[in-house]
Structure 1
Amino acid sequence: MGIEVGGLLGLIWLCIIIWAIIKVAQSSASGLAKLLWILLLLFVPLIGLILFLLLGPRPSRAAL
């Protein structure tokens, strides 16, 4: 049973990281900033995701 739960949590985690990478790619940040965010998310996923949620590109008010 542990393998199934671990696999499901891994899949959820992968979906969250992919969502964050897509949000970075769609942001209005510069190309270098996008590259750095994506590398951070890929190589240090937990810290990268926390930093992205706290400091990452914000959507403009017009989009809301």
Structure 2
Amino acid sequence: MGIEVGGLFGLIILILDIYAIVKTLQSGASTGAKVIWVLVILLLPLLGLLLWLLFGPKGNKALT
């Protein structure tokens, strides 16, 4: 009858991962660093997002 909690959680993670990838590609980091971050985010969606928030390319203001 509606979106299940698991489906909603997955959708939120997908949106945040896309945001992280876009912000990574817009950052001033080297091309190699950008590629590595995008791969980490894609291969480990939740963990990659958390790692990006903590250690990602400088210039990301944690979802601002």
| Between structures 1 and 2, the one with greater helix share | 1
Aligned to 2:4, the other structure's residue is in SS state helix
Please list every run of at least 4 consecutive aligned residues from structure 1 whose deviation after the TM superposition is greater than 3 angstroms.
Answer: none
Is 1:41 the equivalent of 2:41? yes
Deviation at 1:45, TM superposition (A): 1.5
Q: What is the TM-score with the length of structure 2 in the denominator?
A: 0.80
SS in 1 for 2:59: coil
User: Which residue identity does 1:19 align to in structure 2?
Assistant: Y
Q: TM-score, normalised by structure 1?
A: 0.80
Checking the alignment, whether the CA contact within 8 Å between 2:13 and 2:45 is kept in structure 1 is no
Unaligned runs of 5+ in 2: none
Q: Distance in 1 between matches of 2:40 and 2:17?
A: 11
Give the number of equivalent residue pairs. 60
